[in-house]
Amino acid sequence: MIRTQGLVCTYAGAQPLRFPDVDLPQGDRLLVQGRSGSGKSTWLSLVAGLRTPTAGQACVAGQALDGLRGSALDAWRAQAIGFLPQRLHLSHALSVHDNLALAYFAAGLPRDDAAIAQALHPLGVGELGARYPAQLSGGQAQRVALARAVLLRPAVLLADEPTASLDDEAAAQARDLLQQCCRACGASLVVATHDRRVHQALPGAQVLDLNE
Ligand code: ADP
Ligand code: MG
């Protein structure tokens, strides 16, 4: 679940970004839409506890974020939030398998190599564990990043422009995979996008419109 109240983020020297309130039950889907620069990525970073709001509060996966700091916040995020950033942030120094193992390290959990293989397999990248990110196609890299995001069965999966650079067929696949992964672990899915194709493909999703 995600519940926000009066969230504001002010970057130095800029007008405050004021966000409408959200109340998203666990397992439901949310589309965050708005033109470029409207604050979609900023909203995701507030909900992930990556950025502290100037005002307002967020409760995510049962946790009031203003009650967490430092390493406690990092550990909470590593377990409760799956994040698929627009730039995938795979470590190029590590194999695919070890990129996923980092999720355990971040959460302070012992690494589970069997679970890593099981996360890669349904996304069609089960054979690629020994490769390095530079040896992957764009679509493969996105699937690896998605496997990493859902590895610890997060309560909330945040995806930032997951289809922006994809053709119609790949975009449809990416949307389906996001929804499958969320159903499999009961996660709420949040997709930030200006891509009309996603709007049409998430029927019944709540909408947070940042253009208003
Ligand atoms: P979107 O994801 O909808 O394109 P962003 O959340 O990235 O929007 O940005 C919202 C506004 O905040 C934009 O005007 C952007 O320039 C500004 N902004 C984003 N990140 C920063 C930052 N780290 N420092 C200063 N301004 C920022
Ligand atoms: Mg953005």
CA 82-84-87 angle, 5° bins: 150
The atom number, within ligand 1, closest to the CA of 36 reads: 4
Mutate to test the pocket of ligand 1, among 7, 9, 10, 11 (most ligand atoms within 8 A of CB): 11
Ligand 2 centre from 112 Cα, in Å?
A: 33
**How many residues comprise the chain?**
212
User: How far is it, in rounded angstroms, from Cα 207 to Cα 192?
Assistant: 10
User: How far is it, in rounded angstroms, from Cα 106 to Cα 62?
Assistant: 20
**pLDDT above 80 for 212:** no
Cα–Cα nearest to 21, from 58, 50, 55, 53:
58
The pTM of the full predicted model, rounded to 2 decimals, is 0.94
**pLDDT above 90 for 16:** yes
Identity of the residue numbered 45: S
**pLDDT above 90 for 173:** no
Of all protein residues, whose CA lies closest to atom 23 belonging to ligand 1? 11
Ligand 1 centre from 112 Cα, in Å?
A: 37
Q: Which residues line ligand 1 (CB under 6 A)?
A: 11, 14, 17, 34, 36-42
SS3 content of the chain, % helix, strand, coil (to 5): 40, 20, 35
User: How far is it, in rounded angstroms, from Cα 29 to Cα 153?
Assistant: 16
Tokens, residue 168:
């119609």
- Mean pLDDT over each residue of the chain, to the nearest integer: 94
The single residue listed with the structure tokens 């029927």 is: 203
